[in-house]
Amino acid sequence: MKKIIRKALILLSVYYAYMVEYRAELILWVLSGSLPIILMGVWIKASQGGNFGLSSVDFARYFLTVFVVRQISVVWVIWEFEREVVEGKLSLKLLQPLDPVWHHVASHLSERVARIPFAVILIVLFFLLYPQAFWLPNFRQLCLFTLAVSLAFALRFVIQYTFAMFAFWTERANAIENFWYLFYLFLSGLIAPLEVFPEPVRKIVLFTPFPYLIDFPSSILIGLPVDLTRGFLSLIAWILIFLGVNRWLWRAGLKRYSGMGA
């Protein structure tokens, strides 16, 4: 156990140093996640005209939270993994007594830490510009949100890492991710909160992994009605399903990788 903690700490600290090397890039990455802020403007405008069941302040809070959730759950493992496979760098990692995935996990987690200060500055700026949207979630909401958003990140990572496994069969695995992203965009709550979806659509969407990635944690934090049990169980179930597929593809992929001459 002590050894595992030591490994984790060293991986995290080194990858943190790695991420901080790209300070300017980090700011750009944070800003590139501001699609929710743009959509917020659209929905605030729309809410003043139509009847959506959510007020313009609700929309502002929702999309600000979506922005935060996106900052915490952004994942890019498929591009890194694909490069390692295509360039053959995976070979060197396979010769170390540590599953290569832990390098990716560490780099994602430490990037979160490097990113937080910039995201906080943006949030403060937002409340200065739009003070009527300011609210303080209670302690219970905060705890549940933290748990939900962590699981959402884990699910997003596992799903993308599963798609990344296809790099063993095709050199352009990220095409799968790009296709999947289209559904993610519309069904996760990134473009519109699930609250405003027509009821039958909403019911179907809740059987997919998408709404738990963004809408679920966001709704918890701003106090919209959510089915907590269903939400958390769905997150865990989807994580386990994709983890199973992932490990199966990993083993099959390694066999293929080695068969093709590594």
Partner 1 sequence: MSIIIVKNLSKSYPVAVKEPGIKGTINHFFHRVYRSINAVQDVSFEIAPGEIVGFLGPNGAGKTTTLKMLTGLIHPTSGTVKVAGYVPFLRQEAFLQKITLVMGQKQQLLWDLPAIDSLKINAAVYNISDKEFQRRLGELTEMLALEDKLKQPVRKLSLGERMKAELLAALLHRPHVLFLDEPTLGLDVNAQVAVRDFLRDYNQRYQATVLLTSHYMADITALCQRVLLIHQGKLMYDGSLDGLLERFAPYREVHVELAQPLPLEKLKIYGDVQHLEGRAACFMVEQESLTRTVSKILSELEVIDLTVTEPPIEEVIGRVFQAGVV
For partner 1, the binding residues in 95-124 under the rule CB under 8 A are: 95-98
Cα dist from 206 to 144, 158, 215, whole Å: 19, 19, 10
Residue 4 or 129 having the CB closest to partner 1: 4
Stretch that binds partner 1, among 7-15, 59-67, 153-161, 210-218 (CB under 8 A): 7-15
Residue 22 or 135 having the CB closest to partner 1: 22
Stretch that binds partner 1, among 4-12, 124-132, 205-213, 229-237 (CB under 8 A): 4-12
Q: What minimum distance in Å lies between the beta carbon of 132 and partner 1?
A: 43
1 interacts with partner 1 by CB under 8 A: no
Residue 3 or 140 having the CB closest to partner 1: 3
243 interacts with partner 1 by CB under 8 A: no
Contact pick of 7, 45, 83, 247 for partner 1 (by CB under 8 A): 7
Q: What minimum distance in Å lies between the beta carbon of 102 and partner 1?
A: 9
For partner 1, the binding residues in 42-101 under the rule CB under 8 A are: 87-89, 91-98
Instruction: Spell out the residues 6+ positions from residue 139 whose beta carbon is closer than 8 angstroms to its own.
Output: none
Q: What minimum distance in Å lies between the beta carbon of 256 and partner 1?
A: 10
Show the tokens assigned to 258: 């080695």
**8 A C-beta contact, residue 145 and residue 220:** yes
Q: What minimum distance in Å lies between the beta carbon of 47 and partner 1?
A: 45
**8 A C-beta contact, residue 216 and residue 226:** yes
Residue 89 or 172 having the CB closest to partner 1: 89
The gap between the terminal CA atoms of the chain, to the nearest Å, is 33
225 interacts with partner 1 by CB under 8 A: no
Q: What minimum distance in Å lies between the beta carbon of 86 and partner 1?
A: 12
| Residues lying near partner 1 in the complex (CB under 8 A) | 3, 6-7, 10-11, 14, 17-18, 21-22, 87-89, 91-98, 255, 258-262
